[in-house]
Amino acid sequence: MEDFADKGLQVVVGLAIFAAIIGLIMLVVDRAPKSGREKLQVAGFLAPALILLAVGLVFPALQTSYISFTNRNGEFVGLDNFVWMFTQPEALVTLRNTLIWVVLVPLLASSIGLAYAVFIDRARGEKALKALVFMPMAISFVGAGVIWRFVYAYKGAEQNQIGLLNQILVWLGQEPKQFLLDAPENTFFLIAVMIWIQTGFAMVVLSAAIKGIPTEIVEAARLDGASAWQQFRNVTIPTIRGSLIVVITTITIGTLKVFDIVRTMTAGQYETSVVANEMYTQAFRAGEPGRGAALALVLFLMVLPVVVYNARLLRKQKEIR
Amino acid sequence: MSTVPLDNTNKLLPDVNDDVTQGQSTMQKRVRQRLTSRRATAAAIIIAVIWTVPTFGLLVSSFRPEANIKGNGWWNVLTDRQFTLENYADVLSPGGSQSPNLLSYFVNSLAIVIPGTVFTLVLGAMAAYMFAWGRFRGKDSLFIFVFALQIVPLQMALIPLLQLFTKVLKFGDFQVLPSGTYAQLWVAHTIFGLPLAIFLLHNFIAEIPGEVIEAARVDGAGHSTIFWRIIIPLATPALASFGIFQFLWLWNDLLVALVFSGGGADVAPITQRLAEIQGSRGGEWQRLTAGAFVSIIVPLAVFFGLQRYFVRGLLAGGLKG
């Protein structure tokens, strides 16, 4: 219990220091002399956030870019780390896996999410049905890792299975399988976890978009004798195109950065590593900050076009409004 | 307050739980019947089951005695009806160093997440207020720059930020953000949360009617009075939405914790401990199932209790990670 009191005290002290800093800023900007008061007030409000961002994000990002050109002793080695990344088999596997992730997760999560949103639209119990699929969004990747490792759990053929998936294989008369150990298909079983998490996000956003479709359009299509499938293809999809793109790009960004699932389920072994996990392994476990930084930089370069595209799309939507 | 049309982003998107069934014409009802045909319903039910069963299996298993969890699958509970709370007692209690000791890590998670969320909200709102209502040169370009910082994956900042905390911000024996406390995690989380916080809160605060703020100015109120007396109360819905998001994101984080926490029972959050147990004793299902459930209970409570805000935050800002 003493331990918890100690922790509580730390939190109280932390909050108090923070409150004191903010209070001091407010006091100073209020007491400022009339001339130049506006400037000082602006500076006082912006400074804490901007200083933190400069020191904690801008400067480190630049430094990481530099570190990516150095070796483990901090000596400048030019493009060596990038050459390593694009020639060594173990690094190439990482890149290949990341590519598979980034193609499959957005595609499948959005399709399943969209299908589900359409199927349950205005159905009885829609709210509850949504919550069921949406719930994994709230669960941490680590928690999801445990949940799914349990689904994939393996026991020898002569034993009772405790993993649901292997039990299903046994029921179907198959041999139980080491889902997470056998490359290359193990990557797909990790991807399934990410899809399980992201589908709810896609479903909720797309469902909101579907409900925003003006009823006149739907009715007109219906009067023209369009079938359910035709309505879906020619009315629903084009109308919610904007939301669909936002969903796909957002999931793409999240997938590129995926770390926790791989870390907790296989730790990147058995040829399942992805860029974000390998970055951590190299920088903080293998003592190769240069390689880690290079991987982080590549990650940045992969995320960049997606974010830019997303931002431009959002701006265009705003202009339309 | 609710009469002021502030919530622009969210209003355009209908609430996820809206029941739009009222006032439907018979025509629409027929459309609906066709769209929710039997096959669609069946598909929806299959998806809902696949999405729910893994979590359900985990929950059921966490209440089964160790021998039963390891001996047969959780779907046997109907014939093998033995339940116990022992797994929970085991993972929570502070036993020796071998014990999961999760209660301690649970407290750590709270101690990391609460200040981390408060700091981000306050500093983010202060900056957002100035970007929305301050008068200074270069405002727009600076805002776009802060917005653009969202592109930088936090992997880019980790290596230099750790060096900064442990080497640069150290004067003799005095560490500004001491290792072995929560301070480094608070600051790191705040930094990584700020770009999105500033962007989302700005969008909301900028919609507050100018007359309200002008009137206060004419009465001689300075920026600090306006900020605390007008902006913060009016921006509560946005603060709540983003706050919930930040809370969940920090609670579920693993990467930042791995880099900055040191890993001991005095600082590390529950996600990190759970990942550790998974790595070192991946077959201890009685501990893993109960532990995973302890770690996801808070996010699930937040999710089911505040689903409305959660969804709003999601629709307004997309997903982070």
User: Rounded to 10 degrees, what is the CA torsion of A116, A120, A122, A123?
Assistant: 180
Q: Are B130 and A38 in contact (CB under 8 A)?
A: no
pLDDT at residue A320 in the model: 56
- For B137-181, write each residue's pLDDT tens digit: 888 889 888 888 877 888 888 888 888 888 887 777 777 777 778
Which ipTM score applies to this complex?
0.84
For residue B16, the chain A residue with the least C-alpha distance is A208
Q: With CB atoms and an 8 Å threshold, state whether A38 touches B135.
A: yes
Pull the structure tokens for residue A2. 């003493």
- How many C-beta atoms lie closer than 10 Å to residue A23's C-beta? 11
**Closest listed residue to residue A240, CA positions, set A248, A228, A252:** A248
Residues B307-311 have a mean pLDDT of 73
CA distance linking residue A276 with residue A95, whole number of Å: 10
Total beta-carbon pairs less than 8 A apart between chain A and chain B: 352
- How many C-beta atoms lie closer than 10 Å to residue A204's C-beta? 24
Substitution target from B9, B224, B253 for chain A, most A beta carbons within 10 A: B224
Query: Three-state SS for B220?
Result: coil
pLDDT at residue B315 in the model: 67
Query: Tens of pLDDT along chain A (321 residues)?
Result: 567 888 888 899 999 999 999 999 998 888 877 777 788 888 899 999 999 999 989 999 898 888 888 888 777 888 888 888 888 888 888 899 999 999 999 999 999 999 998 888 877 778 888 888 888 888 888 889 889 998 998 887 788 888 888 888 888 888 888 888 887 888 999 999 999 999 988 898 888 888 888 888 888 888 888 888 888 888 888 888 888 888 888 888 888 888 888 888 888 788 888 888 888 888 888 888 888 889 888 888 888 888 788 777 767 765 654
pLDDT band at B24; cut points 50, 70, 90: very low
pLDDT band at B5; cut points 50, 70, 90: very low
CA distance linking residue B211 with residue B215, whole number of Å: 6
Q: With CB atoms and an 8 Å threshold, state whether A119 touches B187.
A: no
- Closest CB to B14: pick one of A122, A127, A208: A208
The distance of A79 to chain B (nearest Cα, Å) reads: 18
Q: With CB atoms and an 8 Å threshold, state whether B123 touches A135.
A: no
Does position B31 have pLDDT exceeding 60, yes or no?
Answer: no
Q: Are A196 and B54 in contact (CB under 8 A)?
A: yes
- Closest CB to A15: pick one of B118, B158, B292: B118
pLDDT at residue B204 in the model: 84
Pull the structure tokens for residue A233. 């293809």
Looking up tokens 């579920």, which residue turns up? B252
Substitution target from A18, A46, A210, A298 for chain B, most B beta carbons within 10 A: A46
Q: With CB atoms and an 8 Å threshold, state whether A41 touches B224.
A: yes
Does position B117 have pLDDT exceeding 90, yes or no?
Answer: yes
Residues B24-52 have a mean pLDDT of 71
CA distance linking residue B153 with residue A276, whole number of Å: 10
Backbone angles phi, psi at A41, to 5 degrees: -65, -45
Cα dist from B2 to A189, B15, B306, whole Å: 47, 16, 18
**Closest listed residue to residue A170, CA positions, set A179, A157, A180:** A157
pLDDT at residue A106 in the model: 93
- For B260-280, write each residue's pLDDT tens digit: 887 777 888 999 888 888 877
Q: Which residues contact A242 (CB under 8 A, 6 or more apart)?
A: A209, A313, A317
CB contacts, 8 Å: B130 with chain A: 42, 45-46
CB contacts, 8 Å: B292 with chain A: 142-143, 146-147
CA distance linking residue B6 with residue A20, whole number of Å: 31
pLDDT at residue B131 in the model: 92
For residue B112, the chain A residue with the least C-alpha distance is A11
Q: Are A262 and A189 in contact (CB under 8 A)?
A: no
B117 against B6, higher pLDDT: B117
- Closest CB to A259: pick one of B114, B255, B266: B255
CA distance linking residue A66 with residue A297, whole number of Å: 10
- Closest CB to A299: pick one of B70, B153, B183: B153
Q: Are B116 and B90 in contact (CB under 8 A)?
A: no
Q: With CB atoms and an 8 Å threshold, state whether B130 touches A45.
A: yes
Q: What is the DSSP string of A211-265?
A: HTS-HHHHHHHHHTT--HHHHIIIIIHHHTHHHHHHHHHHHHHHHHT--HHHHHH
The distance of A93 to chain B (nearest Cα, Å) reads: 20
Query: Three-state SS for B174?
Result: strand
Angle between helices B236-252 and B307-317 (to 10 degrees): 90
For residue A262, the chain B residue with the least C-alpha distance is B275
pLDDT at residue B185 in the model: 92
Q: With CB atoms and an 8 Å threshold, state whether A208 touches B16.
A: yes
**Closest listed residue to residue A195, CA positions, set A246, A149, A136:** A136
- Closest CB to B13: pick one of A119, A143, A212: A212
Substitution target from A140, A255, A261 for chain B, most B beta carbons within 10 A: A140
Query: Three-state SS for B177?
Result: coil
Write the Ramachandran bin of A32: left for phi over 0, alpha for psi from -120 to 50, otherwise beta: beta
Pull the structure tokens for residue A147. 């949940």
CA distance linking residue A152 with residue A141, whole number of Å: 16
- Closest CB to A49: pick one of B43, B55, B126: B126
pLDDT at residue B250 in the model: 92
pLDDT band at B116; cut points 50, 70, 90: very high
CB contacts, 8 Å: B248 with chain A: 138
Amino acid at A229: W
For residue B127, the chain A residue with the least C-alpha distance is A46
- Closest CB to A142: pick one of B37, B248, B271: B271
pTM: 0.84
Q: With CB atoms and an 8 Å threshold, state whether B295 touches A296.
A: no
Query: Three-state SS for B238?
Result: helix
The contacts found for B32-40 with CB under 8 angstroms, 24 or more apart, are B32/A122, B34/A228, B35/A118, B35/A121, B35/A122, B35/A228, B35/A231, B36/A119, B36/A120, B36/A121, B36/A122, B36/A123, B37/A228, B40/A118, B40/A119
The distance of B212 to chain A (nearest Cα, Å) reads: 19
Task: Return the top range by mean pLDDT from A242-251, B25-34, B127-136.
Answer: B127-136
Q: With CB atoms and an 8 Å threshold, state whether B159 touches A64.
A: yes
